[in-house]
């Protein structure tokens, strides 16, 4: 029943019609070196339906990646970031023997992991980086005051130069 609710249909491990289903779980945790901690948890559920007298198979892959990061570096401040992303893919591939399933499933999982990693980098990290760069400055207040003073002096000098050349 859980598989039907979560994956929009029944997922069975003991298929009667020449197919099977399985799951691949991947966990990678950061050790906290360089003051970064985090984890990457991915769940890949695959359903395989053999067709064409077992010479071809239809693969359906549903993947979810859960990611969290914690940064406690003094230079950039403390930040926690977490989220999850789910994707689905289907593919037909030739099958010569049972080991062909391992190759086909492995290629699908690898491609999905790379796609999700790229999406997370764009959505989560890219957008978070943009927001952080807009909302906080890495220059301290005294440095900002110095830059403002130099900018005012430069603007005054340019205005005087333009005034003299207009006369």
Give me the pLDDT at residue 25, please: 95
Residues 6-56 pLDDT 10s? 555 555 544 456 789 999 999 998 876 766 788 999 999 999 998 877 789
Tell me the backbone φ, ψ of residue 125, rounded to 5 degrees. Answer: -75, -45
* Cβ atoms of 55 and 95 closer than 8 Å: yes
User: What is the model's pLDDT at position 14?
Assistant: 45
Torsion angle of C-alpha atoms 94, 97, 102, 105, degrees rounded to 10? 20
| Residues facing 94 on adjacent strands | 56
**What pTM, to 2 d.p., does this model score?**
0.65
DSSP H helix total and E strand total for the chain: 4, 4
């Amino acid at each position: 029943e859980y598989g039907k609710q979560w994956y929009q249909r029944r997922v069975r491990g003991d298929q009667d019609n020449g197919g099977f289903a399985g799951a691949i779980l991947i966990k990678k945790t950061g050790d906290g070196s360089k003051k970064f901690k985090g984890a990457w948890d991915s769940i890949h559920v695959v359903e395989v339906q053999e067709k064409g007298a077992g010479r071809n198979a239809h693969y359906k892959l549903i993947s979810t990646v859960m990611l969290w990061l914690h940064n406690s570096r003094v230079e950039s401040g403390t930040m926690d970031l977490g989220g999850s992303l789910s994707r689905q893919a289907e593919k037909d591939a030739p099958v010569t023997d049972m080991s062909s399933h391992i190759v086909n499933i492995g290629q699908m999982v690898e491609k999905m992991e790379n796609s999700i990693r790229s999406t997370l980098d764009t959505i989560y990290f890219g957008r978070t980086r943009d927001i952080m760069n807009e909302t906080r400055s890495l220059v301290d207040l005294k440095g900002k005051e110095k830059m403002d003073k130099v900018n005012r002096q430069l603007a005054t000098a340019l205005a005087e130069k333009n005034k003299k050349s207009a006369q």
